[in-house]
Amino acid sequence: MWANQRFKRVLAVSFDYGQRHDVELKAAQTICRELDVPHETIQIPLLSQLTKNALTDRSVAIDAGHPEGANPYSRLPSTFVDGRNAVFLLTAAIYAKQRGIADLVTGVCQTDYSGYPDCRAPFIKSMQKTLRLAMEYPFRIHTPLMDLTKAETVQLMQKLGGIELIKNTHTCYAGTRPACGKCPACLLRLKGFKEAGVKDPIKYE
């Protein structure tokens, strides 16, 4: 909705990379259909082929990581997918350039997030520069949620008049509907709704 209010033409893309929570792809289709936004799903199998993490391998337990640990690699959550946002943005940029689009919008956030390094502003700024250099095209990456807490994101949806759309969203890393209510993504979501004073419209186990 943020993009719809700022741009005359909006196209949405989702990425199927073998994620266990592929229900998010159906959720994206439903939301785009309600907003009358064209939507495409792009297959990116290389992420599940090259990486081992809890989002693409069900044998890996969902773990929030150890931020204070001495080993920098153990600090990252097991749900972190190496290179995911870099690949997503590169793919989206190629898709956009072919259609004469320079503005890319992504929902990454560094305020209260799961500890992913590719959700931070320095990465986005670097990626924007890289994409411009790589394709000689004036890409602009917009991150409207970057400095918002989850509660502020819920409040933004209220302001935009899209709070009803949230019933179709999916957050749970376990990929279940109803959501598990226990994984780091569910806990962050529940915390955000509680702090915003809004009832989360999805069901939990």
Contact 140, 93 (CB under 8 A): no
Q: Work out the burial of residue 67: count CB atoms within 10 Å of its CB; fewer than 13 is exposed, 13-18 middle, 19 or more buried.
A: exposed
* pLDDT attached to residue 112: 75
* 88, containing H or E segment: helix 84-97
Instruction: Indicate yes or no: pTM above 0.85.
Output: yes
Where do the structural domains in the chain lie, given as residue ranges?
Answer: 12-196
**Structure tokens belonging to residue 31:** 């939301």
Over the chain, what is the mean pLDDT? 93
How does pLDDT run across 89-119, given as a tens digit for each residue? 999 999 999 999 999 999 999 987 678 999 9
* pLDDT attached to residue 90: 98
Measured distance CA(2)–CA(156) in Å, rounded: 9
CATH number assigned to the domain covering 12-196: 3.40.50.620
Q: With both helix axes pointing from N to C terminus, report the angle between 184-196 and 150-160 in degrees, rounded to the nearest 10.
A: 60
How does pLDDT run across 127-175, given as a tens digit for each residue? 999 999 999 999 999 999 999 999 999 999 999 998 889 999 999 999 9
**Structure tokens belonging to residue 9:** 């033409």
Predicted confidence (pLDDT) at residue 29 exceeds the cutoff of 90: yes
Measured distance CA(54)–CA(71) in Å, rounded: 19
Q: 């773990």: which residue's tokens?
A: 63
